[in-house]
Amino acid sequence: MGTAYTPGLKVTPRTTVQKTRRLPLKGQVTVQLGDLVQPETVVARTELPGIMQTVRVAERLSIEASDVPPLLKVSVGDHVERGTVVAENKSFFGLLTNQVKSPVEGVVELFSPVSGHLGIRLTPSPVEVDAYIQGKVTEVIPEEGVVIQTSGALVQGIFGVGGERLGELKIIVGGPDEVVDEDRITEDLAGKVAVGGSNITGPALKKAAGFGVAGIVVGGIIDKDLIEYLGHDIGVAITGQEKIPTTLIVTEGFGVMRMAHRTYDLLKSLEGKRASINGATQIRAGVIRPEIIVPTAEEITTSAGPDEQSLDVGTRIRVIREPYFGILGEVTALPPEPVLVESGSKVRILEAELETGEKVSVPRANVEIIQE
Amino acid sequence: MPDIRTILATDCGSTTTKAILIEKQGDEYRLVVRGEAPTTVESPFDDVTVGVMNAVREVEELAGRRILVADGGTRGQGDAGSAIQMPSKDGAGVDMYLSTSSAGGGLQMTVAGVVMSMSAESAERAALGAGAIIIDVLAVDDGRKEYEKVQRIRELRPDMILVSGGTDGGTVTHLVEIGEMLVSADPKPRLGIGVRLPVIYAGNKDAADAVRQVVGERVDLKVVDNLRPRIDRENLYPAREAIHELFLQHVMQQAPGYGKLSSWTSVGIMSTPNAVGKIIQTIADKERINVLAVDIGGATTDVFSVFAGNFTRTVSANLGMSYSICNVLAEAGIQNIRRWIPFEIDEWQLRNQLRNKMIRPTTIPQTLRDLYVEQAVSREALRLAFIHHKSLARELKGVMQTRTISDALSQGTTGKTLVHLMDLDMIVGSGGVLSHAPKRAQSALMMLDAYQPEGITMLAVDSIFMMPQLGILSEVMPEAALQVFDRDCLIKLGTAISPVGTGKEGRMAVTVTLDGGKHEIPFGTVKVIPLAGGEKKTVEIVPVGGFDVGAGKGRSRTVEVEGGVVGLIIDARGRPLNLPPDDETRIRKLKEWLSALGLDQAG
């Protein structure tokens, strides 16, 4: 028995999913324990304080900071409108009046006698958190948020961009090794989550974004197509905040990568159902993988299974590094002693028979387990 | 101090916890064994001491010595008392237990100063020296509009902010403006709702009260001594210590079990980069040498240097071999990576390959071609991190210096880098790609290519990354730390002789004579002369005409050099090193240099 270093991504038709929905600062929870919620249900809300606008009164009136206080027309705590006179100075024997007006609407928050500046806090903006998934509120975190639980299918991708979206699943290819080109993207996909095969072309992705497709799920994406779609290069794999119209979820990796049969078959079986998807990815410090969640009516009490997987003879694997990248196989032996590989490193390997029929040795770090 | 014969030291990294056992054997301290186990700060364990005990168990097994207390050392959360038996007795336990840590994702800081190249830069040095990752440097004169700076502070969500600026008795207004900017942004820390952001004020002491008045209770303000009290003086220690203290609190917040672990250790837990910096400084002080050390990890590359007694540390938080590998690609550009690969490879295939490594970071190269691709990336990561380091390791800007006539005529300016490659005595490489390269000569070549050392430089690697543990040990037992460092930690690859200058391909560049044997090395080549580790020989180095090995152009040097596992390396490829622009010639030359170092060529 051994351990795979890269846990397999979850691809399961029946599991329990829990999501914590939290505000960025303290606020109000708007649902109760036990409530049944839809993805669009607002579960918590708060107000994000506005930025404080600095009004440089001393500079504007061309006076010393210490001379400002008697000229102020407002006090800390006063509400002001845009254009409200906040300070006034008369000069030239009272014939000339210099006024400083507030450039914004807000509340006077501070006056600094050292700099002669007034600080006006803009009106707060509301922030709401929705449920994201259809389910039941199983925990309330006072003033912060809730935990929602649902049962259904969960598909994790390897990498994604774009945030949370909701849409009906639609398969737009005939098989997991077909490429999604422009012709497959049609207007009726607007608001839907389109499932493709091995790749989506750059022009097709652009077209999908133009039509307002909620999400695209494919096996692979070519690096330059992704960069063109995002408008910038990707440095570190921390995503989810991109301001893009269509969330993209990649299930296998970069390049033209046939979607795993299991993943494709599961998504096909869920066609027509509403999916909550999220392209957010974080590879380190608390791994987050992109996901597709499709709740079902059936109550399930078990979760998707433990994260730690063990390798045994007979375990189904996928190789995730050259020279056998993406190929499926089955473990045939697990030699205990480290072995010298071509690169010159001495590492623990496994022996496998690939779906191509080839018998190979692969470092154990270079496989992921196919979860059954 | 009581007689310390056995020492246990752990380093709790983000992914792995490493434990080493050191014993006094005769008159010197030596490494006995090393063990490791996954770090356990995340669920389901939520207790760093679990990983520590697992690592220690491996040490127990390998050393055949019980270290954990006799009840099996199964300490759960809430169990009182240390799991480590101290002091040692009847061949069990240890006399001292130390630990370092970089778990919790590191301390992310923003620094703000008045003048970018002065107070802001000093603040950056203070923060980096304390083990932080700087996510932005703001200054009154940084060219951004006020609202942009305010927005930036809001977006960043640092763990803490360091504010500096103004010499004592100097500007007050600008510091108050920085305070107003903080209030405007109303920043929230990365961690925890309802927690006030820690702000360390280390600027003009005369402005401290005014700043406190402005920021009020919105942030958790701590005032320390000015880190640039005079224009010609830095005083980084108080700010560094304040950051360090807050860092430990932060780590305790983020890494459960740290309170318990601290109660087990003989001295306080130190942050890993701090500890590595300590051992590097200790080595430099003791040997009276200029040292450059680098730790290239999956996400970040730490660079440490000591030049003429000045210690500098930089963290390139965006350059690494797995999580950050695509940042290296973005910053270096695909062509700069491709130029180091000794075979043809399609640009887009290479890009996709690197992206796949980013999303599956724990995979390793199986083929030689794949290994050389990774080593090509590492050259660029090391090179870029070094450029960043050189820009920060520099003399104080804004300093009036007493000048001689020749100084004035040469029109030199202050703020120049302290890093002078010709004066560099040793480079120490650490981190997986360097420490665990399948062939030591690969590490040597990566460092030669990335750093392009000049003159005479010893190349070395840290065999198993125990520098953090030796760093904290050097605080309490410097001699013991140095002994272990020298005998067990450091693997000397050999001395590199690198003449500065360029010439014509094939023409003689330098002659090296040792043991009566004369070696003539043409320009554009690398030659290795066998010289084993520990062996020292006197060599005469005679550079041709325009080449300089440290005594001036064309002037010879007779020096004692030390060997290593690779040997004495003569790098006559020129400084700066220019690779041929056409692919065919470039690949041919790369293969030549691989052969010269006894390395295989990938098909």
Give me the DSSP letters along B333-374.
Answer: -HHHHHTT-SS---HHHHHHHHHHHHHSTT----SHHHHHHH
- The CATH number of whichever domain residue A176 belongs to comes to 3.50.30
Provide the CB-side half-sphere exposure for B93 (13 A, CA).
16
DSSP H/E element including B510: strand B508-514
Give me the DSSP letters along B525-577.
Answer: -EEEE---BT-EEEEEEEE-TT-BSSSSBT--EEEEEEB-SS-EEEE-STBTT
Calculate the CA dihedral of residues B175, B177, B179, B183 and round it to 10 degrees.
180
State the pLDDT at residue B173. 85
Residues A172 and A234 both lie in one domain: yes
What does the alpha-carbon distance between residue B154 and residue B173 come to, in Å, rounded to a whole number?
23
Poorest-pLDDT segment among A147-156, A266-275, B271-280: B271-280
Cβ contacts of A290 on chain B, cutoff 8 Å: none
Cβ contacts of A234 on chain B, cutoff 8 Å: 326, 330, 355
Counting every residue written for chain B, the total comes to: 603
Cβ contacts of B439 on chain A, cutoff 8 Å: 344
State the pLDDT at residue B237. 80
SS3 B595: helix
Beta carbons of B558 and B531 less than 8 angstroms apart: no
Residues A170 and A269 both lie in one domain: yes
What does the alpha-carbon distance between residue B173 and residue B204 come to, in Å, rounded to a whole number?
11
Interchain pair A255, B185: CB under 8 A: no
Please give the tally of structural domains in chain A: 3
What pairs with residue A278 in β-bridges?
A164, A291
DSSP assigned state of B117 = I
Locus of tokens 């299918």: A153
For domain B6-102, the CATH architecture is 2-Layer Sandwich (3.30)
From B174's Cα to the closest Cα of chain A, the distance in A is 8
- Which segments of chain B belong to CATH 3.30.420? 6-102
State the pLDDT at residue B259. 83
Residues A266 and A315 both lie in one domain: no
Provide the CB-side half-sphere exposure for A355 (13 A, CA).
12
- The structure tokens listed for A20 are 């914590």
Q: Which of A109, A321, A346, A369 to mutate to test the interface with B (most CBs of B within 10 A)?
A: A321
Beta carbons of B546 and B553 less than 8 angstroms apart: yes
What does the alpha-carbon distance between residue B23 and residue B477 come to, in Å, rounded to a whole number?
13
State the pLDDT at residue B111. 86
Which domain-ending residue is among A289, A319, A352? A289
From A365's Cα to the closest Cα of chain B, the distance in A is 5
DSSP assigned state of B489 = I
What does the alpha-carbon distance between residue B272 and residue B468 come to, in Å, rounded to a whole number?
5
Q: Going by DSSP bridges, is the β-strand pair B426-430/B455-462 parallel, antiparallel, or unpaired?
A: parallel
- The structure tokens listed for B192 are 């925890």
DSSP H/E element including A226: helix A223-230
In this prediction, residue A298 has a pLDDT band, given cuts at 50, 70 and 90, of low
Closest CB to A235 among B327, B359, B369? B327
From B464's Cα to the closest Cα of chain A, the distance in A is 15
From A362's Cα to the closest Cα of chain B, the distance in A is 7
Give me the DSSP letters along A323-343.
Answer: TSTT-EEEEEE--SS-EE-TT
Better-predicted residue by pLDDT, A148 or A113: A148
Q: SS3 for B242-288, per residue?
A: HHHHHHHHHHHHHCCCHHHHHHHCCCCCEEHHHHHHHHHHHHHHHHC
Q: Which of B148, B356, B443 to mutate to test the interface with A (most CBs of A within 10 A)?
A: B356
Q: Chain A contact for B324, CB < 8 A?
A: yes
Q: Which of A284, A303, A348, A350 to mutate to test the interface with B (most CBs of B within 10 A)?
A: A284
Closest CB to A343 among B185, B359, B370? B370
Q: Name the percent of chain A in helix, strand, coil, to the closest 5.
A: 15, 45, 45
In this prediction, residue A1 has a pLDDT band, given cuts at 50, 70 and 90, of very low
Range of the domain at A326: 310-369
Q: Which of A117, A234, A307, A343 to mutate to test the interface with B (most CBs of B within 10 A)?
A: A343
Task: Check whether A372 has a pLDDT greater than 60.
Answer: no
Window 171-210 of B, Cβ < 8 Å to A? 172-173, 176-177, 180, 183-186, 188, 193-194, 210
Residue of B nearest to A346 (CA): B438
Beta carbons of B264 and B391 less than 8 angstroms apart: no
Q: Is the pTM of this model over 0.80?
A: yes
Amino acid identity at A316: R
Can you say how many angstroms the Cα of residue B322 is from the centroid of all Cα atoms in its chain? 17
Residues A282 and A321 both lie in one domain: no
Residues A284 and A194 both lie in one domain: yes
- Which segments of chain B belong to CATH 3.40.50.360? 107-254
Q: Chain A contact for B348, CB < 8 A?
A: yes
Q: Going by DSSP bridges, is the β-strand pair B6-12/B96-101 parallel, antiparallel, or unpaired?
A: parallel
Give the number of beta-carbon pairs within 8 Å between A and B: 170
- Kindly state the average pLDDT of the residues A209-227: 96
Residues A100 and A166 both lie in one domain: no
Give me the DSSP letters along B276-335.
Answer: HHHHHHHHHHHHT--EEEEEE-SS-EEEEEEETTEEEEEEETT--SSTTHHHHHHHH-HH
* Residue pLDDT, tens place only, B403-433: 334 443 443 344 677 789 999 999 999 988 9
What does the alpha-carbon distance between residue B284 and residue B291 come to, in Å, rounded to a whole number?
6
Q: Which of A58, A99, A59, A52 is nearest to A76 (CA)?
A: A52
State the pLDDT at residue B76. 43
Residues A269 and A328 both lie in one domain: no
Q: Which is the CATH superfamily of the domain at B107-254?
A: Flavodoxin domain (3.40.50.360)
Interchain pair B438, A286: CB under 8 A: no
Interchain pair B364, A233: CB under 8 A: no
Q: Which of B165, B235, B176, B234 is nearest to B204 (CA)?
A: B165
Q: Is the dihedral of CA B147, B148, B152, B153 positive or negative?
A: negative
Residues A319 and A259 both lie in one domain: no
Q: Would you call A34 exposed, middle or buried from its count of C-beta atoms within 10 A (0-12, 13-18, 19+)? A: exposed
Beta carbons of A137 and A32 less than 8 angstroms apart: yes
Residues A223 and A323 both lie in one domain: no
Q: SS3 for A90-148, per residue?
A: EECCCCEEEEEECCCCEEEEEEECCCCEEEEEECCEEEEEECCCCEEEEEEECCCEEEE
Task: Check whether A54 has a pLDDT greater than 50.
Answer: yes
Is there a domain that residue A28 lies in? no
Closest CB to A362 among B194, B360, B366? B366
Is there a domain that residue A347 lies in? yes
Interchain pair B359, A321: CB under 8 A: no
Counting every residue written for chain A, the total comes to: 372
Residue of A nearest to B328 (CA): A235
The string over A123-162, giving b where at least 16 C-beta atoms fall within 10 Å of a residue's C-beta and e elsewhere, is eeeeeebbbbbbbbbeebeeebbbbbebbbbbbbbbbbbb
Is there a domain that residue A167 lies in? yes
Q: Going by DSSP bridges, is the β-strand pair B198-201/B160-163 parallel, antiparallel, or unpaired?
A: parallel
Closest CB to A343 among B188, B323, B365? B365
Cβ contacts of A53 on chain B, cutoff 8 Å: 184
Better-predicted residue by pLDDT, B105 or A217: A217
- Kindly state the average pLDDT of the residues A256-280: 95
Residues in chain B with pLDDT values less than 70:
1, 42-43, 71-80, 103-106, 129-131, 189-194, 248-255, 395-415, 603
What does the alpha-carbon distance between residue B275 and residue B538 come to, in Å, rounded to a whole number?
35
Q: Chain A contact for B486, CB < 8 A?
A: no
Cβ contacts of B358 on chain A, cutoff 8 Å: 236-237, 283
In this prediction, residue A51 has a pLDDT band, given cuts at 50, 70 and 90, of confident
Cβ contacts of B370 on chain A, cutoff 8 Å: 321-323, 343
Beta carbons of B481 and B470 less than 8 angstroms apart: yes
Q: How many CB atoms lie within 10 A of CB B103?
A: 26
State the pLDDT at residue B407. 40
The string over A4-22, giving b where at least 16 C-beta atoms fall within 10 Å of a residue's C-beta and e elsewhere, is bbbbbbbbbbebbbebebb
Q: Which of B525, B519, B493, B488 is nearest to B506 (CA)?
A: B525
Beta carbons of A272 and A135 less than 8 angstroms apart: no
At residue B288's C-alpha, the angle toward residues B282 and B289, to 5°, is 90
What pairs with residue A292 in β-bridges?
A155, A277
